[in-house]
RNA sequence: GGAGAGAUGACCGAGUGGCCGAAGGUGGUUGCCUGCUAAGCAAUUGAGCGGGUUAAGGCCUGCUCCGAGGGUUCGAAUCCCUCUCUCUCCGCCA
């Protein structure tokens, strides 16, 4: 969420950012509300000052056993007015806050301008895709053939977009989680965290999932939400805390299962493990000084790339354009769900060999 | 689920209607001292939101904040109601 002060003092910059992101949000409205709020604050403040001083006088008069009735009556009226103003201020503030939560982050200047996926820029490619002298099968066929993936059972015990891992498939999943956590904790200096998989609404708001993207989340009856990524509990570990400069930067890594409703994706990626309601992820989060954040992002991306290098999976890193970035991002190397893009022989050949399309 | 206790500043901890943004201590910062030495002395040290002023650092000023929200009152950390969280004991489940 952007600071209202930034918008107030630098409206052109914010307008520019919104334009880049293809967001149609009217800043004039919020600026007017902000102005209104400050005017009301001034009025209420003056009345409160009066109430405070006169109330003190009343206290003194009473102590001296003098009559204070007149002043009490006058203050009664003032109090009523204050109450009215306070109610109004609260209403205006709620309105401002609501609008602020709808405004996305300002893109970093290095982010390419663009509309959508097709305008993302590739900045790095690693590894040679393997050559096959046959047509490779997609993972869902191989997985079922090996009896390590079972999509039908997933649908049976839960629903579509759930998968049961069996035997070596389950072991492989567990091994990958351990491999990544070990790598990031032993060699990259991250602290391992095991956070709750369910979080409250404040936490979801802290990372920008709420209020705008509630329909993407699974919500429990008691009001808690299933985490869509470990980023949510990790970044919220320090929500509304003032961190000591000496303690920065903080590097956290965590495994969680991730839960996403995938609303509006009917018919997309219906096969295989690409778009699941539940999947496993090892997340990297850094909390650092603002001036260091872009360097830290570069280092973090390298840490993530290391996983793919060691697994010998060819990949490419793309920087998302302004139109394709996530709501609260200022710069991203990840598309949702794809992160650093890997080479899947049967699925992503085109990305790696565009000339053969 | 039942019974009880509690929530105050970075931390500990006083405070039951006006003189409390809040005693005292710890910690932090600054200065002094330098043969009682992992010490002593002194000063200083919360935040948010506004307003004024300044080239700026800053300075002046108002309001709000004692878990959250509401209420009583001229006036609430202090009284009343609701909620949340923490702790202890009992039960239940595993």
Cβ of residue A42 near strand B, that is under 7 Å?
A: yes
How far is residue A249 CA from its own chain's centroid? Answer: 19
Closest nucleotide (C1' vs CA) to A4 is: B49
SS3 readout for A86-125 = HHHHHHHHHHHHHHHCCCCCCCCCCCCCCCCHHHCEEEEE
Q: Looking at A274-344, which runs of residues are DSSP E strands?
A: 278-287, 315-319, 341-342
Chain B footprint bases within 7 A of protein beta carbons: 18, 49-51, 62-64, 70-71, 73-75
Q: What is the pLDDT along chain A (357 residues), one digit of tens a residue?
A: 888 888 998 888 899 999 999 888 888 999 999 999 999 999 999 999 999 999 999 988 888 888 888 899 999 999 999 999 999 999 999 889 888 888 999 999 999 999 888 899 999 999 988 888 998 888 999 999 999 999 999 999 999 999 999 999 999 999 999 999 999 999 999 999 999 899 888 888 888 888 888 889 998 877 889 999 999 999 888 877 777 777 788 899 999 999 999 887 777 777 888 889 999 999 999 988 888 889 999 999 999 999 999 999 999 999 999 999 989 899 999 776 667 888 888 765 555 544 333
Tokens 């006169």, residue located: A54
Q: For residue A188, how many other CB atoms are within 10 A of its CB? A: 16
Report pLDDT for A352. Answer: 52
Report pLDDT for A336. Answer: 64
Closest nucleotide (C1' vs CA) to A73 is: B74
CA of A106 to C1' of B21 (A): 38
CA of A285 to C1' of B11 (A): 29
Closest nucleotide (C1' vs CA) to A5 is: B49
Cβ of residue A50 near strand B, that is under 7 Å?
A: no
- Counted residue by residue, chain A has a size of 357
Cβ atoms of residues A332 and A323 within 8 Å? no
CA of A250 to C1' of B26 (A): 27
Cβ of residue A200 near strand B, that is under 7 Å?
A: no
| CA dist list (Å): A48 to A58, A69, A83 | 15, 19, 10
Cβ of residue A44 near strand B, that is under 7 Å?
A: yes
Residue A64 pairs in a beta bridge with none
Cβ atoms of residues A135 and A349 within 8 Å? no
Closest nucleotide (C1' vs CA) to A62 is: B18
CA of A85 to C1' of B18 (A): 24
Cβ atoms of residues A300 and A286 within 8 Å? yes
Grouping H, G, I as helix, E, B as strand and the rest as coil, residue A254 is strand
Report pLDDT for A157. Answer: 92
**b/e code A59-68 from CB counts within 10 Å (16+ = b):** eeeeeeeeeb
DSSP string spanning A6-20? HHHH-HHHHHHHHHH
Question: Which positions 148-177 on chain A have a beta carbon less than 7 angstroms from any atom of strand B?
Answer: none
Question: Which positions 66-125 on chain A have a beta carbon less than 7 angstroms from any atom of strand B?
Answer: 72, 75-76, 78-79, 83, 90
Domains and CATH numbers, chain A: 26-100 (1.10.287.40), 131-313 (3.30.930.10)
CA of A112 to C1' of B1 (A): 58
Cβ contacts of residue A82 below 8 Å, gap of 6+?
A44, A47, A48, A51
Cβ of residue A56 near strand B, that is under 7 Å?
A: yes
Cβ of residue A52 near strand B, that is under 7 Å?
A: yes
């Amino acid at each position: 969420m952007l600071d209202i002060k930034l918008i107030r003092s630098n409206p052109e910059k914010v307008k520019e950012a919104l334009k880049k992101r293809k967001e149609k949000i009217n800043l004039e409205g919020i600026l007017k509300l902000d102005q209104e709020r400050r005017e009301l604050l001034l009025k209420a403040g003056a009345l409160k000052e009066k109430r405070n001083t006169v109330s003190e006088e009343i206290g003194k008069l009473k102590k001296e056993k003098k009559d204070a009735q007149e002043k009490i009556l006058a203050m009664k009226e003032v109090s009523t007015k204050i109450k009215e103003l306070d109610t109004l201020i609260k209403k205006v503030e709620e309105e401002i806050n609501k609008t602020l939560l709808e405004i996305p982050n300002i893109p970093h200047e290095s982010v390419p301008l663009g509309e959508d996926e097709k305008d993302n820029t590739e900045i790095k490619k690693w590894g040679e895709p393997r050559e096959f002298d046959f047509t490779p099968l997609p993972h869902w066929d191989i997985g079922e053939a090996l009896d390590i993936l079972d999509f039908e059972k997933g649908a049976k015990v839960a629903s579509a977009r759930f998968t049961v891992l069996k035997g070596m498939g389950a072991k492989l999943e567990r091994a990958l989680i351990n491999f990544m956590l070990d790598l990031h904790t032993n060699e990259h200096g991250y602290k391992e965290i095991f956070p709750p998989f369910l979080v409250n609404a404040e936490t979801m708001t802290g990372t920008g999932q709420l209020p705008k993207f509630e329909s993407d989340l699974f919500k429990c009856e008691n009001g808690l939400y299933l985490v869509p990524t470990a980023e949510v509990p990790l970044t919220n570990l320090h929500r509304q805390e003032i961190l000591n400069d000496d303690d920065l930067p903080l590097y956290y890594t965590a495994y969680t299962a991730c839960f996403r409703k995938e609303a509006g994706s009917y018919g997309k990626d219906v096969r295989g493990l690409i778009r699941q309601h539940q999947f496993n992820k090892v997340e990297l989060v850094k909390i650092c000084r603002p001036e260091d954040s872009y360097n830290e992002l570069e280092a973090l991306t390298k840490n993530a790339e290391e996983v793919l290098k060691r697994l010998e999976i060819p990949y490419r890193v793309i920087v998302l354009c302004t139109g394709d970035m996530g709501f609260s991002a200022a710069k991203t190397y990840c598309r949702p769900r794809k992160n650093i893009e890997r080479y899947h022989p049967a699925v992503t050949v085109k990305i790696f060999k565009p000339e053969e399309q």
